[in-house]
């Protein structure tokens, strides 16, 4: 499933326009990126936590030449799935879908 599929599914499930759902998904993604870039954690209950992690500088090897290469330190995004999400994916928990609410 890609972003367009997600938007289509949510729009159909909730009875909202694709434009409204696109705006909501884009806003969620933007706010998540901004918060994680600032070093904040974004926790979505039952789903997981988006956060940033620091990777220290280290020495590596150029696979073509075998020469030692210094790899710079980096700040990277990280996602830790929550217990409920892990349980659903592993099959230990059953996915309970709330009834769809249609707006008129």
Q: Domain check: are 45 and 73 in the same one?
A: yes
pLDDT digits (tens, 9 = 90+) for 23-72: 999 999 999 999 999 999 999 999 999 999 999 999 999 999 999 999 99
Instruction: Quote the CA–CA distance of 10 and 5 in Å, as a whole number.
Output: 9
Q: Which domain holds residue 19?
A: 1-38
Q: Is 8 in a helix, a strand, or coil? A: helix
Residue 32 sits in the same domain as residue 65:
no
Q: What is the pTM of this model?
A: 0.79
CA–chain centroid gap for 80, Å, is: 9
Number of domains in the chain: 2
CB atoms within 10 A of CB 47: 13
Phi, psi of 24, rounded to the nearest 5 degrees: -70, -45
Task: Report the C-alpha gap between 10 and 26 in whole angstroms.
Answer: 13
CATH number of the domain bearing residue 89: 4.10.520.10
One domain for residues 11 and 25:
yes
Residue with tokens 């609410």: 101
Whether 52 is covered by a domain: the verdict is: yes
Domain match, 52 and 90 both: yes
Residues 50 and 86 placed together within one structural domain of the fold? yes
């Amino acid at each position: 499933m890609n972003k367009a599929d997600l938007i289509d599914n949510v729009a159909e499930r909730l009875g909202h326009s694709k434009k409204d759902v696109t705006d909501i998904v884009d806003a969620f993604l933007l706010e998540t990126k901004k918060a994680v870039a600032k070093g904040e954690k974004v926790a979505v209950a039952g789903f997981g936590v988006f956060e940033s992690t620091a990777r220290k500088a280290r020495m590596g090897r150029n696979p073509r030449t075998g020469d030692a290469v210094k790899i710079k330190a980096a700040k990277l995004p990280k996602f830790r799935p929550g217990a409920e999400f892990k349980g659903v994916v592993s099959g230990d928990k059953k996915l309970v879908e709330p009834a769809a609410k249609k707006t008129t």
